[in-house]
Amino acid sequence: MKPLLRSSGDILADRRADYAEMLFASGDHAAAAELMMGALELAPGWTMGWFRLGEMHEAAGANQLAAEAWYTALKLDPQDRAGAALKLELVGAAPFSAAPPGAFVEALFDHYAGTFDQSLVGKLGYRVPELLRQAINERGERRFASAVDLGCGTGLMGERLRPVVEFLEGHDISTAMLKKAEAKRLYDRLIKSDLQSLALPGTSADLVTAADVFMYVGALERVFDSVAAALKPGGLFAFSVERHNGAEDFVLRPSRRYAHSQAYLLRLLQQRDLTVAALGSATIRMDRGEPIEGIMVLAEAA
């Protein structure tokens, strides 16, 4: 996917944007937004500039102006690689949607692929692959003839699975992530997939994993249908979500990630004849210095 330009392409506009960022970092959000608006007068077609202007207005408490900026970004880039639609939802300027724009998720992970492992594991204390592997182990030592790693990314989950899997398949929406995974030579097959439209062959997998993936999916009915159909009798489904403690099935958080309720997960699994073999809570990573609580689930097909 073609990346969004971080630069406006206009030297004077970029200089004003840099000054705006300096003001923003100092806490003067309103002045930063005013200066960024000046940059956009010079470069009105700069999508990421409009998106950033929206963030500056939001930080200054001017949600209406923020929404106007994000609508402009969305108009300039209807694919919504910046994720403006999600920001509009969060400030109440657009109706709630059950899924993020696929182009946003793809662009996000294409951008972070180069530093993903170092940032996630080294700085944010990411633990999901380790925790899921532990849950699988506790069901007893076994080898899996065929496993599918959904949202495989650079292969952090694949590293844990490779020793116990004969044939390992990875799916991810990001081409850059898949290239990183390919370089590790962990997977027998890698497939570019959007989990919103995932289609797996029926009765083809002994194990399906989704480590820290569903927060970028939203509604899980469709992907759970595909997983349930793909699992062989006795096959395992190991996954994690960010925990939501409210009455809703799932919610969009300011991080632009979705959090899911335990009741929602249990209902989806029961409806698909998947029996919960293990369920627990754990801190799955840090985010801006705060621990993120997750739900770890291991389910078994009838």
User: Residue 121 pLDDT more than 80?
Assistant: no
Give the mean pLDDT of 68-82.
Answer: 97
Q: What is the DSSP string of 173-200?
A: S-HHHHHHHHHHT--SEEEE--GGG---
DSSP state of 162: G
Percent of the chain with pLDDT over 70: 97
Both 143 and 208 in one domain: the answer is yes
Name the residue range of residue 58's domain: 11-95
Residues 160 and 264 in one domain: yes
Confidence of residue 126 (pLDDT cuts 50, 70, 90): confident
- Residues 206, 295, single domain; the answer is yes
Cα separation, 102 vs 82, in Å, equals 11
**pLDDT average, residue stretch 3-12:** 84
Asked if the model's pLDDT at residue 246 lies above 70, the reply is: yes
CATH code of residue 165? 3.40.50.150
Instruction: Determine the Cα–Cα distance for residues 5 and 27; give it in Å rounded to an integer.
Output: 25
pLDDT of 60 strictly over 80: yes
111 contacts 48 by C-beta, under 8 angstroms: no
Residue 252 placed within a domain = yes
At residue 123 the predicted structure's pLDDT band, cuts being 50, 70 and 90, is: low
**Residue 140: pLDDT band by 50, 70, 90 thresholds?**
confident
Task: For residue 2, tell me if it sits in a domain.
Answer: no
Give the mean pLDDT of 203-207.
96
* 218 pLDDT above the threshold of 90: yes
Question: Rounded to an integer, what distance in angstroms lies between the CA atom of residue 180 and that of residue 117?
Answer: 10
Is this prediction's pTM over 0.85? Answer: yes
pLDDT number for residue 2:
64
Query: If you write DSSP's letter for every residue of 133-151 in order, what string do you get?
Result: HHHHHTT----EEEEEEET
Q: Which residue has the tokens 């004003």?
A: 16
Contacts of residue 266, Cβ cutoff 8 Å, sequence gap at least 6: 276
Q: Across residues 25-49, what is the average pLDDT?
A: 97
Kindly state whether residues 166 and 230 are assigned to the same domain: yes
Type of residue found at 192:
K
Residue 94 confidence class, pLDDT cut points 50, 70, 90? very high
Comparing 136 with 120, the larger pLDDT belongs to: 136
- The count of domains in the chain is 2
- Band of the pLDDT at 198, cuts 50, 70, 90? very high
Give residue 289's pLDDT.
Answer: 80
Query: Residue 3: its pLDDT value, please?
Result: 64
Question: pLDDT value at position 200?
Answer: 95
Name the band, by pLDDT with cuts 50, 70 and 90, for residue 70: very high
Please name every residue paired with 172 in a beta bridge, in sequence order, or none if there are none: 192
Grouping H, G, I as helix, E, B as strand and the rest as coil, residue 122 is: helix
44-60: average pLDDT: 97
109 in any annotated domain: no
Confidence of residue 142 (pLDDT cuts 50, 70, 90): confident
Same domain, 296 and 160: yes
Residues 73 and 129 in one domain: no
Average pLDDT, the chain: 94
Q: How far apart are CA 84 and CA 18, in angstroms?
A: 21
Q: What is the pLDDT of residue 116?
A: 76
pLDDT tens for each residue of 248-264: 999 999 999 999 999 99
**108 within some domain:** no
Chain segment 290-302, per-residue pLDDT in tens: 889 999 999 999 9
Any domain includes 71: yes
Do 54 and 123 belong to one domain? no
pLDDT one-digit tens code per residue, 173-183: 999 999 999 99
Backbone φ, ψ for residue 262 (5° rounding)? -65, -40
Q: Are residues 287 and 209 in the same domain?
A: yes
For residue 120, being part of any structural domain is answered with yes
Residue where the block lists tokens 């406006």: 8
Q: Is the residue at 6 inside a domain? A: no
- The answer to whether residue 176 is domain-embedded is yes
With a cut of 80, say whether residue 50 has pLDDT above it.
yes
CATH of the domain at 36: 1.25.40.10
